[in-house]
Structure 1
Amino acid sequence: MEDHLLIRQMAENQKHAFDLFYERYYRYIYQIAYKIIKNRVEAEDVCHDVLLEIYQKANQYNPDRGSVKAWIAIRTRSRALDRLRKKTELLANKMEDILSKASPAADQYVIENMEKQVLQRALNCLPREQQQAIYHMYFDQFTQKEIAIELDRPLGSVKSSIRYGLQNLRKQKSLLKWIGSSGGDK
């Protein structure tokens, strides 16, 4: 049975379609999640969440916007990244791995860490739509079109969120202090 027919049947709450879909895509979803999270248990949780979400939102799939496999990959990647953001311990371990491979000088590490903290606080002050769009654009390196698909919003709305978000970031006092003081207190 073709993938888009399985999705359509799942949208009609046909359990056998979900069973077939599960058998066909569980490993695929798990591999994507594990590649991002690097934790077996967390990747399995993401797998479960994605499969449940796909079953519940099967009617949102649009074959004109891409293949089933691409739709699944985008959802899985997004959920895995969400999980990373929520699990600070996992993120800290991943950052430690990255930093240990790069091994920058201690002072450079401290400065970069402080810059990241200032930027994260500034991002947290933005409206959620702007946060999501900017995060996907600059941290996940999504195109604006990919962001629109991921967030299920019109492309124009995504572009506006990015533009207004960047304008709001420029107005943030914490960023202005950081930039104006060359990274430290005067």
Structure 2
Amino acid sequence: MFTEQELVELISQIAKGNEQALSKLYDNTSSLVYGLALRILNDAFEAEEITIDVYMQVWQRAAEYDPNRSKPSAWLLMLTRSRAIDKLRASSQKKRFEGKLEIDTPNSINDPQESSFMIERRKAIQSALAKLSSQQRQAIELAYFYGLTQSEISARLGQPIGTVKSWIRLGMIKLRDFLKSFEEK
């Protein structure tokens, strides 16, 4: 097991693009990362996914690590915790969204007129989403269907947070305009 100082040096080497340093860091700390992810998620497969995500994030953001702010192990655990909680949020949002879709299905609605309205509404929303740019649609879906914050979307898409905010804001304005005619019916 490496000391904290040796881990700092490995992260420094990773920031310079040293893949062997990443491999050494993984070999020496992945059980710590996996263990925390497993405790949070209670799912071995998802914990493995989070572990991989964390080391991908280390590879991409090693230059941002500041040894004066935290120990390497604390930094890794913070990244793990953040990713695992994002995963919990996303899966709970997805379940909630899927549950809403089930509630809105024609089979669960007794009134044929209301059933028809729900089908039309769903089609209008799908049509409106299809009219957005792919960036706007993806940002809105991550925010509203998967529960990610704007900073999480920014990190996931590799775009500045200002860009993500613009995509969401402009996309929502377009959706409102597209759906205004549906609401007036």
- How many angstroms apart in 1 are the aligned matches of 2:182 and 2:69? 42
Partner of 1:50: 53
Of 41, 62, 71, the match for 1:59: 62
- Residue 127 of structure 1 deviates from its aligned partner by 1.9
Change (3 A) 1:98 1:164: closer
User: Is 1:152 the counterpart of 2:155 in the alignment?
Assistant: no
Partner of 1:69: 77
The DSSP-based 3-state class of the residue aligned with 1:27 is helix
| Bigger Rg, structure 1 or 2 | 2
User: Is 1:165 the counterpart of 2:171 in the alignment?
Assistant: yes
Unaligned residue ranges in structure 1 (runs of 5+) = 85-90, 182-186
- How many angstroms apart in 2 are the aligned matches of 1:26 and 1:8? 22
User: Is 1:27 the counterpart of 2:35 in the alignment?
Assistant: yes
- Paired AA for residue 131 in structure 1: R
Preserved contact between residue 47 and residue 76 of structure 1 (Cα < 8 Å): yes
Q: Indicate the RMSD between aligned Cα atoms, in angstroms.
A: 4.6
Preserved contact between residue 34 and residue 47 of structure 2 (Cα < 8 Å): no
User: Is 1:131 the counterpart of 2:137 in the alignment?
Assistant: yes
Change (3 A) 1:65 1:151: farther
- Paired AA for residue 132 in structure 1: Q
Partner of 1:179: 183
Give runs of ≥4 in structure 1 deviating > 6 Å: 79-82, 91-94, 97-100, 111-114
Q: Percent identity?
A: 21
Equivalent pairs, count: 163
- Paired AA for residue 72 in structure 1: T
- Residue 139 of structure 1 deviates from its aligned partner by 3.4
- Paired AA for residue 159 in structure 1: K
The DSSP-based 3-state class of the residue aligned with 1:153 is coil
Unaligned residue ranges in structure 2 (runs of 5+) = none
Change (3 A) 1:62 1:117: farther
- Residue 19 of structure 1 deviates from its aligned partner by 0.8
Preserved contact between residue 136 and residue 142 of structure 1 (Cα < 8 Å): yes
State the TM-score, normalizing by the size of structure 2: 0.56
Change (3 A) 1:5 1:31: farther
Of 25, 29, 49, the match for 1:17: 25
- Paired AA for residue 57 in structure 1: Q
- How many angstroms apart in 1 are the aligned matches of 2:35 and 2:174? 41
Change (3 A) 1:178 1:21: farther
State the TM-score, normalizing by the size of structure 1: 0.56
- Residue 165 of structure 1 deviates from its aligned partner by 0.7
